A and B are shown apart, each in its own frame.
Chain A
Amino acid sequence: MITEKDVEHIGMLADIAILRGELEEFTASFNRILEYFDILDQVTGEEKDGGAAVNVLREDEVVPSLSPQDVLSNAKETEDGFFRAPRVM
């Protein structure tokens, strides 16, 4: 059973704020959905790796890429060719 406190904690881990008025509905839907997921308890065994997915990496060589101007073109705040982000400390 997931409590409202748990949901607030998950929201913090996911970096998503939750308004007071939303907490009850989120908690109720989480519980309904997780209860449905309990059917997975019947599955035997575990799959440790990524299953059938295989990544194919190319050689590490320089190829044409976007210009710094293009990369920064959608940012609202930039400075000296960098993105400007909120302060960490």
Chain B
Amino acid sequence: MAEGMLTFSPDDRYNAFLRTVSPARYGEGRLRGIPVAIKDNISTAGIETTCGSRILSGYVPPYDATVVSLLKKEGAAIVGKTNMDEFGMGSTTENSAFGPTKNPRDETRVPGGSSGGSAAAVAAGLVPLALGTDTGGSIRCPAAFCGIVGLKPTYGRVSRYGLVAYANSLEQIGPMAADVAHANLLMSVIAGHDPKDSTSLDAPYSHTPSMEIRGTRIGIPEEFFGEGVDPRVASVVWDAISLLERKGAEIITCRMPSMAYALAAYYVTCMSEASSNLARYDGVRYGPPADVRKPWHEAFQERRREGFGLEVRRRIMIGTFALSSGYYGKYYAKAQAARRNVREDFGRLFAEVDVIAGPTMPTVAFRFGEKSDPLAMYLSDILTVPANLAGVPAISVPCGKVEGLPVGLQIMGRWMEDERVIDVAYAYEQGANP
């Protein structure tokens, strides 16, 4: 039989899933019958898709995202939608309207975010593969906190068609798995050109990971080990870098001065794009309805107050402010100039080194409630946002523990060199677990 049905009844004690599908249909292909979890901001035909927000509760997409069509074409069983910070806005999954996800490595801690449900589902062994999305670290952060592998591909390498937009110029869908080989397999299924995404690159991904890294030049920017980085995390990551050196890589310390304002540039950009993208939620076409008897603005303002959580409202409003007349030059235009500087820093460094490495996150997983101040939560993204601003590929691979909690090694590569990033991660993983 070519087709089959998979019963999926996981013990979801960590609240990784917002909903599951059982039995789930599957077909022939490279992923025949393999259960795959999908982050809830990726459209799945016939399966409710909420982005972790009340404003989309009850929304059932009439079409599949391109990545979901590609998974089905290879026989995968789509077994559920995973929890996330509302619209991807958060680094802990505490901003979900449907309750937080717990970290399977320590239930008193967050799984990271915003793809926290996908990371927890993989880390708990509920699924071998999951899709996440990464706007400023939302795949790599939860991968690091939960001790799994997560890749943010080169911008444009994976279609965004059917991904509910938050910050279009920054975000990518990417693979999450327990090890590099599985992340590589999932990447090979979802990458490729899609005419339905105008930013899509014609660059299919077909790669067999290699652990041969002799002669690879690895740049280590000082800024990735600077203020705010837990020295215990830094020490574990340095040990991992030493292992790569023993495997034949050349380690070169360097500087990335644009890191001083990368985080501000990132937040101004994503909030501005969010203020425009999220204007569509008016209760007319989907989600809980606006009161059509009330005047337009009154109905919308009320609908959006009730439907969006605090952090989403905060980001839409600051984004609106940053784009408003009189402030555009101070915030948005400066953020784009800073973004150009980040790209130029990467360009300069990649003339001398093949990849750049450092910690994925400055600390291990936070306790619940630890980052209740929004700015404090934003600051924890400092090491992941540069790759999004520049559109380059970046992976997080587990590289040890601090007091029993996982630490992620981040490897960033040149634009379109996702394969090399995978290879360096694979060389580390195989070297550390012979």
Residues on A facing B (Cβ under 8 Å):
2, 7, 10-19, 22, 26, 29-30, 32-34, 36-37, 39-48, 50-58, 66, 70-71, 73-77, 83-88
Given A29-B374, A88-B296; A10-B301 close (CB under 8 Å): no
Segment with Cβ contacts to A, from B143-151, B180-188, B220-228, B302-310: B302-310
| Chain B residues, CB < 8 A from A2 | 321
Say yes or no for B351: interface residue by CB 8 A criterion.
no
Q: Are A17 and B305 in contact (CB under 8 A)?
A: yes
CB-based contact B285/A74 at 8 Å: yes
Determine whether the beta carbon of B198 is less than 8 Å from that of A83. no
Residues of B within 8 Å of A22, CB to CB, are 310
When the two chains form the complex, which single residue of A18, A32, A44, A88 contacts B375, counting CB atoms closer than 8 Å? Answer: A32
Beta-carbon contacts of B275-301 to A below 8 Å, as 1s and 0s? 100010010111111111111111111
Q: Is the CB of A86 within 8 A of B198?
A: no
Q: In the assembly, what is the distance between CA of A52 and CA of B154, in Å?
A: 13
A70 to B288, CA, bound (A): 17
B318 CB–A CB distance under 8 Å:
yes
Contacts of B285 in A (CB 8 A): 74-75, 83
Asked if A47 contacts B339 (CB within 8 A), the reply is yes
B337 near A47 with CB under 8 A, answer: yes
B window 27-79: CB within 8 A of A: 58-60, 62-63
Nearest Cβ in chain B — how far from A18, in angstroms?
7
Please name 29 pairs of A and B residues whose Cβ atoms are closer than 8 Å in the assembled complex, sorted by A. A10-B320, A16-B301, A16-B316, A17-B301, A17-B304, A18-B305, A29-B375, A30-B317, A33-B374, A41-B330, A42-B261, A43-B338, A43-B341, A44-B337, A45-B337, A46-B336, A47-B336, A50-B169, A51-B343, A52-B343, A54-B199, A71-B62, A74-B60, A74-B62, A74-B286, A75-B284, A86-B291, A86-B300, A87-B293
The answer to whether B333 has its CB under 8 Å from any CB of chain A is yes
Which residue of chain A lies nearest to B275 when distances are taken between CB atoms in the complex?
A14
Contact B335 A40, beta carbon cutoff 8 Å: yes
List A contacts of B308 (CB < 8 A).
16
Shortest A35–chain B CB gap in Å is 9
Given A15-B297, A18-B313, 15 more A-B residue pairs with CB atoms under 8 Å apart are A16-B316, A22-B310, A33-B267, A39-B264, A40-B338, A42-B260, A55-B198, A66-B63, A75-B286, A75-B289, A83-B285, A86-B291, A86-B293, A86-B296, A87-B293
- Interface residues of B: mostly helix, strand, loop or mixed? helix
Which one of B261, B293, B297, B375 lies within 8 Å of A43 (CB-CB)? B261
Name the prevailing secondary structure of the A interface residues. Answer: loop
Cβ B268 vs Cβ A40 within 8 A: yes
In the complex, A18 Cα to B317 Cα: how many Å?
A: 11
The complex places the Cα of A48 from the Cα of B340 at a distance, in Å, of: 11
Q: Which residue of A lies closest to B340 (CB)?
A: A47
Asked if residues A51 and B336 are in contact (CB atoms below 8 Å), the reply is: yes
Cα separation A48 to B330 with both chains bound (whole Å): 13
Pairwise interchain contact B264-A46, C-beta atoms closer than 8 A: no
B63 proximity list for chain A (CB < 8 A): 66, 70
Contact B198 A57 (CB under 8 A): yes
B302 touches A17 (CB 8 A): yes
Sorted nearest first, the 6 A-B pairs with minimum C-beta distance are A47-B336, A76-B289, A70-B62, A17-B305, A86-B299, A74-B286
Distance, CA A83 to CA B286, complexed state (A):
10
Q: Is the CB of B60 within 8 A of A73?
A: yes
What B residues does A53 contact at CB under 8 A? 169, 199
Q: Are B317 and A7 in contact (CB under 8 A)?
A: yes
Residue among A10, A13, A86 with most chain B CB within 10 A: A86
A10 CA to B322 CA, complexed, in Å: 10
> B327-361: which have CB < 8 Å to A?
329-331, 333-341, 343
Which residues on A sit within 8 Å (CB–CB) of B240?
none
Whether the Cβ atoms of B62 and A16 lie closer than 8 Å is: no
In the docked arrangement, what's the CA distance between A48 and B332, Å?
10
CA A13 to CA B314, docked complex, whole Å: 13
Determine if A43 and B337 form an interchain contact, defined as CB atoms under 8 angstroms apart.
yes
Check: B406 CB closer than 8 A to any chain A CB: no
